[in-house]
Amino acid sequence: MILRIDRLGVELPPPSTPDPNGAAAVQELMGGKFGEMSTLMNYTFQSFNFRDRKSIRPFYDLIANIAAEEFGHIELVATTINTMLTGASLSDAKDGAYKQHFLFGGKGALPADSHGKPWDGSYVHSSGDLIEDLTHNYFLESGARSGKLRVYEMVEHEAARALTGYLLVRGGVHQVAYARALEHLTGADMSKLFPTPRIPTEKIPECKPHLDAGLHLKLYRFSPDDYKEVVAVFNGKHPETGEELEVVDSPPEGFEPKDLPAETDVFAPDYAPEEIAEIANKLRKKAGLK
Ligand code: MN
Ligand code: MN
C-alpha cells in the first residue's frame, strides 16, 4: 500500500510569467522514455514481481523504497508544469508547442512526453533477473539525469530550474544506490563509471543548496515500519565526493504545495469556480470542519 503525504519534496516558486513552450519541454521529464513515470513504473513493477524476498530482502527494500520516492517526483514535475501554465493565454496557445495542455488538459500536466506521445508501458523493464534489472536501473537513472540537464539548459523558467536542480541531485543518489547494489552483488567496480553523465552539479546554482544540505548522500525511507534493510545495500562512500552515504529513517519533511489559482478560460475547475467553492464550504460546515 502507499501512504500519501500532501507535501512536495522541494519548494517550487509561485507562478510568475507563464511559459507554455517551456512546460512542453518539461513534459519530457514526465512521460518521456527516461521520465519520472518510467522510473516510478520500472521500480514499482520490479518490486511487485520480486521473488524470494525473505532471502534477499535488502535488494527488494532498495527497489521498493526508491519507487516510493519516484511517485513524489511525478508530483513535482506535474506541479512545475501547472505552475508554468498558470495565467497562460488560451489564444496565444494556438502557436504553442503543446496545444493539448490547453485543449484537453485544462492547463494541467499530461502523462505524455514533450511531443504529446503518451507514456508507454513498454518503457518498463522488469525481467525477473535482479542483476539485469539493477543494471537497467543504473542506465535509466543515467539517461534521466541527461534529460534533466538538457531541460535545465533549454528552459529558463525558475520553476523548471528549481525542479531540475533538485531532480539532478536526487537522481544522482539513485544512480549511486543501484551502482552500489551491483558492486555488492558482482564485485564490479562501478565507481569507475562515475561521473556518468558528466554533470558538474556543484556549479549549478539550483543544485548547490541541496548539495550543501547533503541531499546527494541521503536515501530516505518512505515507510513508517518497512524497507529497513535498505541500509545493508546503501552504504559506504559516495563515488564522486568520498563522503559517507546515509539512510534517513523517514521521508523528507517537504514543503506545502502552493495553491494554484483557478483558470476560468479553460474551466479549471469550472467556468464559475466560486460556485464550487460555495458548495464545498457548505459540505465542510455539515461535516463539522469549519
Ligand atoms: Mn526521479
Ligand atoms: Mn530516480
Centre of ligand 2 to C-alpha 268, Å, is: 31
**Smallest-distance ligand from the CA of 177:** 2
What is residue 76's predicted lDDT score, i.e. its pLDDT? 98
Centre of ligand 1 to C-alpha 76, Å, is: 9
Q: Please determine, for residue 178, whether its predicted confidence score (pLDDT) is greater than 90.
A: yes
Q: How confident is the model at residue 30 (pLDDT cuts 50, 70, 90)?
A: very high
Contact between 175 and 141 under an 8 Å Cβ cutoff? The reply is yes
**For the residues 111-118, what does the mean pLDDT come to?**
97
Centre of ligand 2 to C-alpha 43, Å, is: 9
Centre of ligand 1 to C-alpha 129, Å, is: 22
Q: Residues of the chain with pLDDT > 90: what percent?
A: 99
**For the residues 264-279, what does the mean pLDDT come to?**
95
What is the residue-averaged pLDDT of the chain?
A: 97
Amino acid at 47: S
Q: How confident is the model at residue 136 (pLDDT cuts 50, 70, 90)?
A: very high
Contact between 50 and 75 under an 8 Å Cβ cutoff? The reply is no
Q: Please determine, for residue 290, whether its predicted confidence score (pLDDT) is greater than 80.
A: no
Contact between 249 and 278 under an 8 Å Cβ cutoff? The reply is no
Alpha-carbon distance of 27 to 119, in angstroms, equals 10
Centre of ligand 2 to C-alpha 283, Å, is: 40
What is residue 92's predicted lDDT score, i.e. its pLDDT? 86
**Smallest-distance ligand from the CA of 75:** 1
Alpha-carbon distance of 31 to 33, in angstroms, equals 7
**Smallest-distance ligand from the CA of 9:** 1
Centre of ligand 2 to C-alpha 171, Å, is: 4
Centre of ligand 2 to C-alpha 98, Å, is: 26
Centre of ligand 2 to C-alpha 272, Å, is: 39
Q: How confident is the model at residue 122 (pLDDT cuts 50, 70, 90)?
A: very high
**Smallest-distance ligand from the CA of 172:** 2
**Smallest-distance ligand from the CA of 171:** 2
Centre of ligand 2 to C-alpha 12, Å, is: 19
**Smallest-distance ligand from the CA of 35:** 1
Positive/negative CA dihedral, 117, 173, 258, 146: negative
Centre of ligand 1 to C-alpha 167, Å, is: 6
Alpha-carbon distance of 153 to 73, in angstroms, equals 19
Q: Please determine, for residue 201, whether its predicted confidence score (pLDDT) is greater than 90.
A: yes
Would you tell me the crossing angle of helices 57-85 and 158-186 to the nearest 10 degrees? 170
For residue range 244-263, list pLDDT tens digits in order.
999 999 999 999 999 999 99
Identify the structural domains of the chain with CATH numbers, from first to last: 20-259 (1.20.1260.10), 261-290 (no CATH)
